[in-house]
Amino acid sequence: MKESVVHLQGNTSDLIIQTQPVVEILYWGDKISGVEAAAIQAVKRAVPNGRLDVDTPVTISPEHGRGVFSSPGMEGNRQGLDWSPVFEFKTIQQDGNHLLITTEDQIAGLKLVCELKLDSQTDVLQVRNTLTNLKTATYQVDRLAVTLPLPERADELMAFHGRWVREFQPHRLKVKHGGYQQENRRGRTSHEYFPGFMQGTTSFSEQQGEVWGFHLAWSGNHRLRSDVKTDGRRFVQAEATYFSGEITLTEGESISTPWVYAAYSAQGLNGMSHAFHQFVRKQIIQFPDHKVRPVHLNTWEGIYFDHDPEYIMQMASRAAELGVERFIIDDGWFKGRNNDLAALGDWYLDTNKYPNGLEPVVNHVRGLGMEFGIWFEPEMINPDSDLFRAHPDWLLALDGYQQPTGRYQYVLDLQKPEVFDYLLERLDTTLSRYDIAYVKWDMNREVVQPGHDGYAALDGQTKALYDLFDELRQRHPKVEFESCASGGGRIDYEILKRTHRFWTSDNNDALERQQIQRGMSYFFPPEVMGSHIGGRHCHCTRRTHSIGFRGLTALFGHMGVELDPVKESAEEQAGFTHYITLHKQLRPLLHSGKVVRIDHHDPALQINGVIAQDQSSAVFLFSQLAMPTYTLSGNARLAGLDPTKHYRLSVLDQPASMRTGGVMKKLPLWLDEEMTLSGAWLAKAGIALPVLDPESALLIKLDAV
Ligand code: GLA
């Protein structure tokens, strides 16, 4: 093999990159052997008639100057000059599967370093580009992206759209010409466009087809696109976006793209998720080893702003009886916070509500054997707050303009040292003073005109937020943080490096949660997905669901309860105890196993499971989302178990209505008779499904015998 070609080898995938004459990814896909110089020669492209006279490579940062007419890898200028750089290879540093490739344009005075790592255990590829200004005059960067090529056969794309209380809704499209683009300018990761998507071969599914998945790990504005060139070649680009003039580099200064995490799977979407989940578990989440994720009770939907410490202690006592392990007081504990109109910024205990301080509540919770958690929304300020009255100039805003409020609040400018220090002091003091194990960190509005000293400053704001987390984490390494932004508005890998879980959605409706959680499961393992049992009547949708459907829907994530347990009926309370107990039994499996989403012909039934990494056991949930399309639901083919092993099937939980509702004269035999089936049978023939009522679910377990 020629020296200019580097072959990175994963467990199931490979990446082959050429550095000369230009830096270009030649191959990224299924594991390949026999990579020789001659083989590389075999993929040298033809030059078609009627176009430029030379081959036009899509390099790691595609350049217009090489004749590439699609979106370049970067755009910028120096007072109008140096606007069309062409980067020549300089050096490569290799440490196993970790590459640093340096390229330079001496005329434009720019250096571009591409850093690539292929994780040999999980096959997740990490890429980022760093641009440095080499000249004395300032360089303005308008765009800087990571570019990854895709083969022509990857002609279908699946991405997510969403909104508040409806995150992670998938959509699919054919990408035959032109391409696809999604953009977020809301100042946080956003409910609207999760910065990630998957592209694959025609009709790729959960279990079938080749899939390439991408995620831009960034909590600010972003753009992702997938292009089909007119010659048929394809590539994906992912970048943080900048406002005009936001990024200027003085001599020697650099800017890096966020990390892009990507994975290739020859086994459909499930294979991609396995790669991402294992990578996230090993390399993204900083969670204490061997610590289990405690079952939560969060007070929000139970009492909202109505904080009475005596009553809260009653709630805690009841929560402990139900099996709850961590009790969290949500919004409403700080000075003057009686509704969402006032007080954000005044992070001092409301002594009218808590005349004896917070200690009695904390001590009560701790005395019951539970951990204590508390809600904060540090980046925000209400105009009606002492903080605003004292520091109206602390806003992230542009002088002279009146920007709209969102939930009656503005955003603080974290790049002002006095703001950063104030928030650090408030959080640090609160975490030092009380025995707090967990902070729910909220962020409830979108960012408009993010100005710092007159300049656009969203990039700096996002980085300052990371710095604030980093400093707090260093001071309080045992405190766990939840990333919440009106539910799922800030869900990405970069914030996850500093937090421990997400509040998936403000929507606790079990039916809606089935879709939201499935959408989130493509990139995130169950243990970071906050999933709480809400009230019987969902506050967001007014739908009513049985405790069975709610319990089973919440079971698969980081479980909790979001209601007032004191007011709940005895039947409901028995249900909470039942599902909390079940969750605790299954938690080691759920929070470490392989997530599988099963391809099923009827979209009215959703089947998902978790299989132990050693394939010794598994749980599968059958969720009937709508009326079954046919009178029978067919067989569930439960893939992913060891085909050579036998498994004993047991029913862990079934809808009360299944045996009383009269939809079946006869149930499938395995519901009542003990059965042991091979992994091969389960995957290929499967088990006959019962007919379930809409909005009900059934849980089974398989244990190797
Ligand atoms: C946001 C969060 C909720 C709750 C409220 C409190 O909406 O997503 O869970 O914490 O704020 O104001």
Q: Are 547 and 572 in contact (CB under 8 A)?
A: yes
Query: Distance, CA 207 to ligand 1 centroid (Å)?
Result: 36
pLDDT reading at 597 higher than 90? yes
Mean pLDDT of 571-583: 98
| Active-site annotation, residues | 442, 506
For the chain, what's the residue count? 705
What would the pLDDT profile of 170-221 be if each residue is shown by its tens digit?
999 999 999 999 999 999 999 999 999 999 999 999 999 999 999 999 999 9
291 Cα: distance to centroid of ligand 1 (angstroms): 26
SS3 (DSSP) at 455? strand
Q: Given ligand 1 and candidates 164, 166, 330, 334, which is best to mutate, with the most ligand atoms within 8 Å of its CB?
A: 330
484 CB near ligand 1 (under 6 Å)? yes
Distance 90 CA to ligand 1 centre (A): 51
Confirm if 632 and 691 have CB atoms less than 8 A apart.
yes
SS3 assignment, position 319? helix
| E strands, 241-283, in order | 247-249, 254-256, 260-265
Structure tokens belonging to residue 45: 């492209």
Indicate which atom in ligand 1 lies nearest the CA of residue 562. Answer: 9
State which of 484, 501, 561 you would mutate to test the pocket of ligand 1, scoring each by most atoms of that ligand within 8 A of its C-beta: 484
Confirm or reject: Cβ of 331 under 6 Å from ligand 1.
yes
**Which of 163, 331, 409 to mutate to test ligand 1, by most ligand atoms within 8 A of the CB atom?**
331
Q: Where are the beta strands (DSSP E) in 31-123?
A: 74-77, 88-95, 98-105, 110-118
Distance in angstroms (rounded) separating the CA atoms of residues 244 and 256: 17
The secondary structure of 525-572, three-state, reads: CHHHEEEEECCCECCCCCCECCHHHHHHHHHCCEEEECCCHHHCCHHH
Per the prediction, the chain carries an average pLDDT of: 97
pLDDT at 288: 72
Task: State yes or no: pLDDT of 645 exceeds 70.
Answer: yes
**Confidence at residue 240, expressed as pLDDT on a 0 to 100 scale:** 98
CB neighbour list of residue 370: distance below 8 Å, 6 or more residues apart: 294, 316, 319, 320, 324, 325, 326, 327
Query: pLDDT (tens digit, 9 = 90+) per residue, 40-76?
Result: 889 999 999 999 999 999 999 999 999 999 999 999 9
Q: Return the CA Rg of the chain.
A: 27
Give the per-residue pLDDT at 533.
Answer: 98
Asked whether 377 lines ligand 1 (CB < 6 A), one says no
Predicted local confidence at residue 594, as pLDDT: 98
Whether ligand 1 lies within 6 angstroms of the CB of 333 is answered as: no
Is the pLDDT reported for residue 686 higher than 90? yes
Q: Is residue 409 lining ligand 1, measured as CB closer than 6 Å?
A: no
> Sign (positive/negative) of CA torsion 533, 277, 501, 438?
positive
CA 409 – CA 413 distance, rounded (Å) = 13
Residue 661, pLDDT above cutoff 80 = no
User: What atom in ligand 1 is closest to the CA of residue 485?
Assistant: 8
300: CA distance to ligand 1 center in Å?
A: 7
pLDDT tens-place string over residues 530-571: 999 999 999 999 999 999 999 999 999 999 999 999 999 999
Give nearest CA residue, ligand 1 atom 8: 486
Closest C-alpha to 524, from 350, 338, 285: 285
Most informative mutation of 167, 486, 491 for ligand 1 (most atoms within 8 A of CB)? 486
506 Cβ closer than 6 Å to some ligand 1 atom = yes
pLDDT above 70 for 467: yes
Query: How many angstroms separate the CA atoms of 114 and 83, rounded?
Result: 20
Residues 6+ apart with CB under 8 A from 59: 22, 23, 24, 66, 68, 73, 87, 147
Quote the tokens at residue 610: 């978790």
Q: How far is the CA of 574 from the centre of ligand 1 (A)?
A: 27
**Using CA positions, which residue lies closest to atom 11 of ligand 1?**
486
> 373 in ligand 1 pocket by Cβ < 6 Å?
no
Report the percentage of the chain scoring pLDDT > 70: 99
Ligand 1, atom 12: closest residue by C-alpha: 331
Q: Is 486 in the pocket of ligand 1 (CB under 6 A)?
A: yes
Once rounded to an integer, what is the mean pLDDT over residues 105-126? 98
Q: Is the CB of 444 under 6 A from ligand 1?
A: yes
Q: Does 370 have pLDDT greater than 60?
A: yes
What is the pLDDT at residue 287? 76
What's the CA-to-centroid distance between 331 and ligand 1, angstroms? 7
pLDDT band of 19, cuts 50, 70, 90: very high
pLDDT at 314 over 50: yes
Q: What would the two tokens of residue 618 be? A: 């598994």
pLDDT of residue 40: 87
State in Å: Cα 282 to ligand 1 middle: 30
Nearest CA to ligand 1 atom 5: 331
Specify the pLDDT at position 394: 98
- How far does residue 440's CA lie from ligand 1's centre (Å)? 9
HSE (side-chain half, CA atoms, 13 Å) at 371: 17
| Per-residue model confidence (pLDDT) at position 647 | 98
Atom 1 of ligand 1, residue of closest alpha carbon: 486
In the predicted model, is pLDDT for residue 2 greater than 60?
no
Identify the pLDDT of residue 35: 83
Judged against a pLDDT cut of 80, whether residue 289 lies above it is answered with: no
* Probe target for ligand 1 pocket from 163, 409, 442, 516, with the most ligand atoms within 8 Å of CB: 442
Q: Would the pLDDT of 432 be above 80?
A: yes
Atom of ligand 1 nearest to the CA of 486: 8
C-alpha neighbours within 13 Å on the C-beta side of residue 82:
23
pLDDT at 47: 97
Using CA atoms, how far apart are residues 441 and 483, in angstroms rounded to an integer? 5
β-partners of residue 697 are 623
| CA of residue 462 to ligand 1 center, whole Å | 21
Distance 378 CA to ligand 1 centre (A): 13
Look at 108-122, 408-422, 427-441, 658-672 and tell me which has the smallest mean pLDDT.
658-672
Nearest residue CA, atom 4 of ligand 1?
300
Q: How far is the CA of 416 from the centre of ligand 1 (A)?
A: 26
Helix (H) or strand (E) holding 196: strand 196-200
Read off the pLDDT of each residue in 696-705 and give the average, rounded to a whole number: 98
Predicted confidence band at 1 (pLDDT cuts at 50, 70, 90)? very low
Alpha carbon distances (Å) from 211 to 77, 118, 265, 598 = 37, 17, 5, 16
- Residue 327 scores a pLDDT above 60: yes
Ligand 1 neighbourhood includes 330 CB (under 6 angstroms): yes
Residue 388 has pLDDT above 70, yes or no: yes
Q: Which pLDDT belongs to residue 659?
A: 87
Instruction: Work out which ligand 1 atom sits closest to the CA atom of 506.
Output: 8
The helix (run of H) or strand (run of E) holding residue 611 is strand 605-611
Distances (CA, A) of 260 to 96, 97, 224, 284, 492: 19, 16, 11, 13, 11
Ligand 1 atom 7, closest CA: 486
The response to whether residue 621 sits with its C-beta less than 6 Å from ligand 1 reads no
Q: Report yes or no: 174 and 213 within 8 Å, Cβ to Cβ.
A: no
Dist CA 480 CA 378 (whole Å) = 16
